[in-house]
């Protein structure tokens, strides 16, 4: 019993002693070091067994408290470091993606401008459709860049999310024309911009919303768990529903589309870079989604690659 107590004391007394007490010990050896199983243990010269016994419960509870606090602090620190590391990795990747896309777009825009100039010279053979298509392309690139650079645009899904660029992927029902933002079941869905929201039932995706703003930009979200409380005018950041796995979805995610105005619906573009810029609480696809309090939500885990999202 005393042996166990000595072991506990070895930790506690070092921790409990004020620093000046320890340094004072060199000159005024009130305490002596006792070796117990190679653990240093300071013992007060005058101390007797009843003294330790009377302090034992206090000491033990203080040790427990310290262990708990230290464990929490270390866990928090580890989580923070891990999160910083992940964010840095994501940022590095994002910047690479953006640069690559920008270069492609500049190259594309130059080709379009040259093509347009050539066509304009040849007035005898005007190709209106060609020019209109190119104009649309340039406008869409402009809309994507503006949205990426907007400070007011809000990530459509609350809390931690994960996604990848799945634009143009082949899916059982055709080519994928959106981004699948995987999140927690029941997570709030936010209006990305000010506009008019309408809720409706989609035969493929189940509960869905469409949101149109004054520029004619059209947003579509589907597989909702719940609709928002009311349709009509909303501001960016308003809750317009909850994330689910409705319709043909095989896991909780928001299938999200962006169709820039003025053409709006039918003029879909890849929303990946927009989500990439604005959905910053993001983890890599291969990692499970865990709540920020560390509590693991097993039933909401969707390991990458075990199902197809629509």
Check if the beta carbon of residue 143 is closer than 8 Å to that of residue 263: no
Q: Could you give the 3-state DSSP secondary structure of residue 97? A: helix
∠ CA 114-98-112, nearest 5°, is 10
Q: How far is the CB of 205 from Zn ion (least distance, A)?
A: 8
Q: Find the shortest distance in angstroms from Cβ 208 to Zn ion.
A: 12
39-47, 190-198, 252-260, 263-271 -> range binding Zn ion (CB under 5 A): 252-260
Alpha helices (H) in the chain, listed in sequence order: 2-16, 19-27, 49-121, 128-149, 272-278
Q: In the range 54-113, which residues lie near Zn ion by CB under 5 A?
A: none
In this complex, which beta carbon is closest to Zn ion, that of residue 190 or of residue 220? 220
Give the range of 42-50, 104-112, 174-182, 291-299 binding Zn ion by CB under 5 A.
174-182
Q: Least CB distance from residue 309 to Zn ion, whole Å?
A: 5
Residue 217 · residue 260 · CB < 8 Å: yes
Q: Is 255 in the site for Zn ion (CB under 5 A)?
A: yes
- When the beta carbons of 195 and 205 are compared against Zn ion, the nearer one is 205
Closer residue to Zn ion, CB minimum distance, 10 or 243: 243
210 binds Zn ion (CB under 5 A): no
Q: Which is nearer to Zn ion, 59 or 273 (CB)?
A: 273
Smallest separation, CB 180 to Zn ion (Å): 4
Listing from the earlier edge strand, what are the strands of the sheet with 218-222?
179-182, 253-259, 218-222, 206-212, 195-202, 232-234
Residue 238 is a binding residue for Zn ion (CB under 5 A): no
| Contact pick of 180, 202, 217, 257 for Zn ion (by CB under 5 A) | 180
Specify the DSSP class assigned to residue 271.
-
Query: For Zn ion, what does the binding mask look like between residues 115 and 154, x meaning CB under 5 A?
Result: ----------------------------------------
From first CA to last CA, the distance across the chain in angstroms is 65
- Residue 224 is classified by DSSP as -
Tokens describing residue 101:
């896309």
Point out which span in 1-9, 69-77, 129-137, 247-255 binds Zn ion (CB under 5 A).
Answer: 247-255
**Lookup: tokens for 51:** 């003294």
Q: How far is the CB of 155 from Zn ion (least distance, A)?
A: 16
Least distance from Zn ion to the Cβ atom of residue 246, Å: 12
CB of 303 to Zn ion, least distance (A): 18
Q: 83 — phi, psi (to 5°)? A: -65, -40
Bridge pairing between strands 39-44 and 31-36: antiparallel
**Any bridge partners for residue 243, and if so which?**
none
Which chain residues interact with Zn ion by CB under 5 A? 178, 180, 255
């Amino acid at each position: 019993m005393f042996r166990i107590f000595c072991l506990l004391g070895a930790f506690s007394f070092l921790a409990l002693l004020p620093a000046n007490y320890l340094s004072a010990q060199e000159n005024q050896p009130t305490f002596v070091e006792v070796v117990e199983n190679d653990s240093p243990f300071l013992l007060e010269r005058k101390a007797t067994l009843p003294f330790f016994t009377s302090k034992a419960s206090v000491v033990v509870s203080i040790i427990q408290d310290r262990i708990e606090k230290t464990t929490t602090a270390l866990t928090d620190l580890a989580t923070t470091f891990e999160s910083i590391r992940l964010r840095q990795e994501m940022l590095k990747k994002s910047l690479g993606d953006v640069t690559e896309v920008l270069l492609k777009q500049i190259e594309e825009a130059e080709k379009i401008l040259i093509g347009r100039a050539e066509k304009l010279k040849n007035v005898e053979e005007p190709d209106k459709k060609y020019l209109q298509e190119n104009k649309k392309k340039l406008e869409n690139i402009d809309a994507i860049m503006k949205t990426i650079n907007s400070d007011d645009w809000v990530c459509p899904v609350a809390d931690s999310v994960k996604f990848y660029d799945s634009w143009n992927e082949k899916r059982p029902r055709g080519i994928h024309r959106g981004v699948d933002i995987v999140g927690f079941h029941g997570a709030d869905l936010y209006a990305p911009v000010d506009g008019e929201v309408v809720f409706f039932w989609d035969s493929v995706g189940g509960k869905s919303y469409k949101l149109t703003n004054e520029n004619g930009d059209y947003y579509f979200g589907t597989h909702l768990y719940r609709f928002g409380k009311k349709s009509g005018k909303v501001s960016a950041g308003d809750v317009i529903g909850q994330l689910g796995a409705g319709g043909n979805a095989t896991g909780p995610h928001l299938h999200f589309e962006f169709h820039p105005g003025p053409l709006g619906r039918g003029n879909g573009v890849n929303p990946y870079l927009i989500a990439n810029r604005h959905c910053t609480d993001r983890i890599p696809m291969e990692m499970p989604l865990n709540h920020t309090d560390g509590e693991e939500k097993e039933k909401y885990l969707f390991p990458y690659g075990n199902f197809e999202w629509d």
